[in-house]
């Protein structure tokens, strides 16, 4: 294995490692435009120049394999001069649109210019004009003038999605990125080209002009779009309510996780964050009347206690959801299943399989099906095929329809969408107690007797287990909207009032109890899960 | 350093004599100025200086050209703001009194413009940073308007109508802006149309913008 010296530090690397990777291992950042660890090496931008002793010229770090005894300097004056010249070259035809460019603030042209460029412009001629503000597809906008022709985007569509929409056309200073004739950039991962474009040539149409990037705060989280659980950063703004009509989330960006999503995420997840700020349930309500949480707690606790004292616990049905965190599901189990002894408590709903592909997108659109199955809701991984409305099937919803179940507590599911409006309407008329606890308004919320607003993932703390058994953490980015509360908080308060002792003060404490009790989670803590997740001990074969 | 407080004398301690002394000093200046200013009117005592004052508002003080006064947004020929909504002024403003919402301009050579632009003069500290930071010379503080006082906080907030036309001051009755903007006069609803500005719909403007780029890029230089 070759051992080389970079900036005076020694490092031993696998044969075939390039200098840029070896430098990364030492924590030395070499600037780059065309190099991306997830793509093949192009070596065309030349900004990663380094000085290798005994080599006649500066070498590009991204395509120079490490050799034994190599001595590399990444910060010498020769290197800096080389990089400044490369930047001067790249900026010759650059429009300097920074004021109107969405990349401004996270642009590598700006960053590297401030670090290495800092020259006075010498270019006197007319700059090349190229297409501006051209939509390439539903998600991406191209500004060919800003492009540095690094070819990351074309390599992405060639190598990762293999859809080949993008190419570089013409030659010399007329070369520009564009679509092949008859194509549009509308593959399921198109948003990723915006992330990998090191400059503002490709910008996000959804994010376009909504905010400046320096207004954004960021919190690590997990995409709840499907059971893959891609790692994301939530970019949000809470102190400028005039932006984007008061929405808090401005965009989602994939976060690197070698085991789950690498550098990527799908468009469905990327643009599927709107529900966080739109169509939310803002108030606790009882039969259409706004009430306080206090009223809801005392009334619901009393109802549950009455069912219990009358010995009618098997007339209660609870429908948790695989959209809930492990912590919430654990509390559902502790409160309803074990605390009260309710048997009809499982995720028994049809879950229509969505689209999927062999890459990231999974057919199961719930982020925590695996977790739910592991915590004791086996129905999560065996969705109902159909319901016939007779209690013979033994399913909770059928039992409710046939009158066997008199109280129904639904977490998040839209029964109207799943079973049809007529049935839910009839159910609402016949049930004694019908509670909907969810974040967004839907048909079920219209019919339920009690509507309890829940926090969404960006307002919640907890963990999900993805389809391949990775326990991953979501962290709260901002406070729950209006009156909504995390389900865990509501369940704990209810438990206290019913007299079931569940004394947890945070999601972390719930998780520790969960890890102590469930062998699959044994030994895991939030600290061990960290930002990259940790695997559960057993793999549930039934998980889709 | 220690500051020694001077002991008050007996006459100062009994208070009333000091009051009369104060009234005496003020009155002497008042009557002296009154007499001398009156005399000046009749062309007398020209060599004796009286207290300096300007008869504001009839007789305003001359302003220095670099004085920072009420803001304005500079306007393009066709009546749209020069501002490209880069939000640099909003970012730099130490008082956080600028509110900008940006929108898509149909001309790809402009791209971005403000749909809403407010400055809250009740909060502004007149530092002029917004003028200095603007890359487009789109905001200036050269209107020479000093009297921005109003009877309510709401009136202290300038919206795009008043910023683009310094003659206007709340209450502004009629919306004169033709381009699409979040109209403060109409409760923030989106008003205006690009057709009123250019006589073409946005798609045409866009197409023509692209064509212009194409022609320029085809030219050999
Ligand atoms: S790509 Fe970077 S340097 Fe170019 S206009 Fe955008 S922000 Fe400015
Ligand atoms: S559009 Fe962006 S990613 Fe594509 S070649 Fe140009 S600079 Fe590189
Ligand atoms: S003058 Fe200063 S305080 Fe006033 S709007 Fe401009 S930047 Fe803000
Ligand atoms: S700095 Fe200038 S161009 Fe930018 S938003 Fe402010 S006024 Fe508009």
Q: Does a structural domain hold residue A115?
A: no
- Domain of B28, in residue numbers: 12-36
Q: Which atom belonging to ligand 1 lies closest to the Cα atom of A201?
A: 1
Q: Does a structural domain hold residue B2?
A: no
Residue A347 near residue A380 (C-beta atoms within 8 A): yes
Write out chain A's pLDDT in tens, 544 residues.
899 999 999 999 999 999 999 999 999 999 999 999 999 999 999 999 999 999 999 999 999 999 999 999 999 999 999 999 999 999 999 998 999 999 999 999 999 999 998 888 898 888 889 999 999 999 999 999 999 999 999 999 999 999 999 999 999 889 999 999 999 999 999 999 999 999 999 999 999 999 999 999 999 999 999 999 999 999 999 999 999 998 999 999 999 999 999 999 999 999 999 999 999 999 999 988 999 999 999 999 999 888 888 888 888 889 999 999 999 999 999 898 888 888 888 888 887 778 888 889 988 888 998 999 898 888 777 777 655 555 556 688 888 888 888 889 999 988 888 888 888 888 888 888 999 999 999 989 999 999 999 999 999 999 999 999 999 999 999 999 989 999 999 999 999 988 888 889 899 999 999 999 988 898 899 999 999 999 988 654 444 4
Cβ atoms within 10 Å of A158's Cβ, excluding its own: 17
Question: How far, in Å, CA of A380 to CA of A384, rounded?
Answer: 9
Domains: count for chain B: 2
Residue A436 near residue A445 (C-beta atoms within 8 A): yes
- Domain of A154, in residue numbers: 125-276
Question: How far, in Å, CA of A457 to CA of A207, rounded?
Answer: 20
Residues A219 and A81 in one domain: no
In CATH, what number is assigned to the domain containing residue A9? Answer: 3.10.20.740
Residues A392 and A304 in one domain: yes
Domain boundary among A224, A249, A276: A276
Strand B189-191 relative to strand A166-169, pairing: unpaired
CB-based contacts of A95, cutoff 8 Å, min separation 6: A127, A132, A143, A145, A146
Tell me the ligand closest to B129's alpha carbon: 3
Domains: count for chain A: 3
In CATH, what number is assigned to the domain containing residue B99? Answer: 3.30.70.3270
Using CA atoms of A175, A181, A183, A185 in order, give the dihedral in degrees to the nearest 10: 10
Token pair belonging to B41: 């009117």
Residue among A174, A209, A215 minimizing CB distance to B85: A209
Residues B76 and B169 in one domain: yes
Residues A142 and A86 in one domain: no
Strand A344-345 relative to strand A316-319, pairing: parallel
Instruction: Give chain B's count of helices (H) and strands (E).
Output: 8, 7
Question: How far, in Å, CA of B192 to CA of B184, rounded?
Answer: 12
pLDDT of residue A538: 64
Kindly determine whether residue A209 and residue B221, on different chains, have CB atoms separated by under 8 Å: no
Residues A390 and A440 in one domain: yes
Shortest distance between the Cα of A241 and any Cα of chain B, in A, equals 10
Kindly determine whether residue B135 and residue A99, on different chains, have CB atoms separated by under 8 Å: yes
Tokens 């030349």 identify what position? Answer: A46
pLDDT of residue A543: 43
Residues A159 and A251 in one domain: yes
Residues A525 and A482 in one domain: yes
Residue A320 near residue A411 (C-beta atoms within 8 A): yes
CB-based contacts of A479, cutoff 8 Å, min separation 6: A459
Residues A354 and A463 in one domain: yes
Q: Does a structural domain hold residue A114?
A: no
Q: What are phi and psi of A299, to 5 degrees?
A: -70, -45
Q: State the sign of the Cα–Cα–Cα–Cα dihedral A201, A207, A208, A209.
A: negative
Residues B76 and B16 in one domain: no
CB-based contacts of B195, cutoff 8 Å, min separation 6: B201
Which chain B residue shows the shortest CA-CA distance from A176?
Answer: B217
Residues A64 and A202 in one domain: no
Question: How far, in Å, CA of A213 to CA of B217, rounded?
Answer: 31
Residues B28 and B79 in one domain: no
In CATH, what number is assigned to the domain containing residue A509? Answer: 3.40.50.740
Q: Does a structural domain hold residue B153?
A: yes
Q: Is the CB of B130 under 6 A from ligand 3?
A: yes
Q: Is B199 exposed, middle or buried (0-12, 13-18, 19+ CB in 10 A)?
A: exposed
Residue among A208, A210, A242 minimizing CB distance to B99: A242
Calculate the alpha carbon distances from B77 to A452, B74, B82, B197 in Å: 55, 10, 9, 10
Q: Does a structural domain hold residue B45?
A: no
Q: Could you tell me if B175 lies within 8 Å of chain A, comparing CB atoms?
A: no
Residues A433 and A485 in one domain: yes
| Nearest alpha carbon, ligand 1 atom 7 | A104
Question: How far, in Å, CA of A338 to CA of A332, rounded?
Answer: 9
pLDDT of residue B219: 56
Report how far ligand 3's centroid is from the alpha carbon of A330 (Å).
53
E strands in A155-262? 166-169, 176-179, 202-204, 217-222, 231-236, 249-254
Calculate the alpha carbon distances from A201 to A91, A102, B28 in Å: 13, 9, 75
Shortest distance between the Cα of A170 and any Cα of chain B, in A, equals 12
Q: State the sign of the Cα–Cα–Cα–Cα dihedral A347, A348, A349, A353.
A: positive
pLDDT of residue A83: 95
* DSSP result, B63-124: PPTT---S-EE-B-TTS-BS-----HHHHH-TT--EEEEEEE-SSTTT-EEEEEEEEETTT-
Q: Which residues pair with A534 in a beta bridge?
A: A471
Question: How far, in Å, CA of A329 to CA of A460, rounded?
Answer: 13
Q: Which A positions 241-270 lie with beta carbon below 8 A of chain B?
A: 242-243
Contacts of residue B104 in chain A, CB cutoff 8 Å?
Answer: 208-209
Residues A16 and A160 in one domain: no
Residue A135 near residue A205 (C-beta atoms within 8 A): yes
Q: At what angle do helices A293-309 and A487-498 cross, to 10 degrees?
A: 50
Domain boundary among A257, A276, A295: A276
Residue pLDDT, tens place only, B49-100? 888 777 787 778 888 988 999 999 999 999 999 999 999 999 999 999 999 9
Residue among B87, B91, B108 minimizing CB distance to A133: B108
Residues B32 and B125 in one domain: no
Q: Could you tell me if B88 lies within 8 Å of chain A, comparing CB atoms?
A: yes
Q: Which atom belonging to ligand 1 lies closest to the Cα atom of A113?
A: 3
Which chain A residue shows the shortest CA-CA distance from B135?
Answer: A99
Residues A272 and A136 in one domain: yes
Mean pLDDT by 10 residues, chain B (221 residues): 87 93 96 91 86 78 90 94 95 95 93 95 95 95 90 93 92 91 91 91 91 77 41
Tokens 């643009």 identify what position? Answer: A271
Q: What is the DSSP letter of B188?
A: T
């Amino acid at each position: 294995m070759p051992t080389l010296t970079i900036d005076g530090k020694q490092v031993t690397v696998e044969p075939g490692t390039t200098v840029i990777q070896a430098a990364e291992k030492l924590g030395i950042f070499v600037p780059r435009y065309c190099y991306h660890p997830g793509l093949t090496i192009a070596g065309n931008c030349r900004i990663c120049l380094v000085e290798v002793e005994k080599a006649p010229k500066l070498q590009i770090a991204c395509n120079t394999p490490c050799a034994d005894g190599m001595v590399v300097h990444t910060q010498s004056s020769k290197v800096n001069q080389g990089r400044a010249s490369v930047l001067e070259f790249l900026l010759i035809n650059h429009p300097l649109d920074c004021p109107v460019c969405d990349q401004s603030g996270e642009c590598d042209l700006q960053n590297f210019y401030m670090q290495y460029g800092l020259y006075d412009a010498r270019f006197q001629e007319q700059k090349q004009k190229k297409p501006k503000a051209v939509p390439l597809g539903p998600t991406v906008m191209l500004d060919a003038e800003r492009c540095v022709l690094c070819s990351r985007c074309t390599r992405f569509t060639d190598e990762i999605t293999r859809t080949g929409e993008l190419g570089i056309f013409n030659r010399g200073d007329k070369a520009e990125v564009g679509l092949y004739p008859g194509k549009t950039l509308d593959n399921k991962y198109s948003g990723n080209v915006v992330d990998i474009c090191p400059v503002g040539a490709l910008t996000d149409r959804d994010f376009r002009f909504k905010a400046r990037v320096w207004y954004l705060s960021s919190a690590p989280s997990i995409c709840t779009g499907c059971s893959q659980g891609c790692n994301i950063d939530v970019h949000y703004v809470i102190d400028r309510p005039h932006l984007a009509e008061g929405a808090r989330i401005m965009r989602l960006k994939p976060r690197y996780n070698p085991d789950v999503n690498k550098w990527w995420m799908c468009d469905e997840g990327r643009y599927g964050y709107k529900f966080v700020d739109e169509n939310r349930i803002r108030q606790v309500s009882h039969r259409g009347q706004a009430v306080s949480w206090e009223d809801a707690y005392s009334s619901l606790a009393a109802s549950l206690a009455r069912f219990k004292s009358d010995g009618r616990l098997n007339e209660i049905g609870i429908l948790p959801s695989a959209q809930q965190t492990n912590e919430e599901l654990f509390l559902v189990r502790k409160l309803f299943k074990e605390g009260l002894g309710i048997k009809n408590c499982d995720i028994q709903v049809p879950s229509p399989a969505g689209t999927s592909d062999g890459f990231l997108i999974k057919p199961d659109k719930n982020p925590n099906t695996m977790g739910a199955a592991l915590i004791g809701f086996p129905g999560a991984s065996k969705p109902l095929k159909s319901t016939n409305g007779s209690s013979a099937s033994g399913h909770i919803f059928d039992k409710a329809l046939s009158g066997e179940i008199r109280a129904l507590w639904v977490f998040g599911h839209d029964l109207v969408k799943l079973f049809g409006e007529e049935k839910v309407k009839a159910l609402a008329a016949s049930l004694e107690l019908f509670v909907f606890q969810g974040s967004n308004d839907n048909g079920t919320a219209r019919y339920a007797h009690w509507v309890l607003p829940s926090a969404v993932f960006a307002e919640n703390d907890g963990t999900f287990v993805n389809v391949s058994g990775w326990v991953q953490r979501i962290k709260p980015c901002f406070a729950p909207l209006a009156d909504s509360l995390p389900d865990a908080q509501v369940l704990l308060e209810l438990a206290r009032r019913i007299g079931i002792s569940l004394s947890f003060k945070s999601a972390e404490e719930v998780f520790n109890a969960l890890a102590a009790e469930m062998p699959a989670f044994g030994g895991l803590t939030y600290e061990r899960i960290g930002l990259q997740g940790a695997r559960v001990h057993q793999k549930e074969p039934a998980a889709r | 350093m220690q500051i020694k407080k001077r002991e008050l004398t007996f006459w100062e301690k009994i208070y009333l004599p000091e009051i009369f002394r104060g009234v005496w000093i003020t009155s002497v200046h008042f009557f002296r100025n009154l007499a001398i200013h009156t005399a000046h009117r009749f062309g007398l005592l020209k060599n004796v200086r009286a207290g300096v004052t300007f008869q504001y508002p009839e007789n305003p003080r001359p302003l220095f050209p670099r004085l920072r006064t009420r803001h304005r947004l500079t306007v393009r020929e066709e009546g749209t703001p020069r501002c490209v909504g880069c939000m640099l002024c909003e970012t730099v403003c130490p008082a956080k009194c600028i509110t900008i919402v940006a929108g898509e301009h149909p001309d790809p050579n402009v791209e971005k413009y403000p749909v809403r632009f407010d400055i809250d003069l009740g909060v502004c500290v007149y530092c002029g940073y917004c003028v200095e930071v603007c890359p487009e010379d789109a905001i200036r503080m050269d209107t020479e308007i000093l009297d921005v006082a109003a009877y309510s906080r709401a009136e202290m907030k300038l919206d795009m109508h008043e910023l683009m036309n310094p003659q206007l001051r709340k209450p502004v009755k009629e919306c004169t802006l033709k381009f699409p903007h979040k109209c403060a006069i109409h409760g923030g609803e989106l008003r205006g149309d690009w057709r009123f500005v250019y006589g073409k719909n946005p798609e045409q403007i866009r197409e023509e913008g692209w064509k212009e780029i194409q022609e320029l890029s085809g030219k050999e230089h």
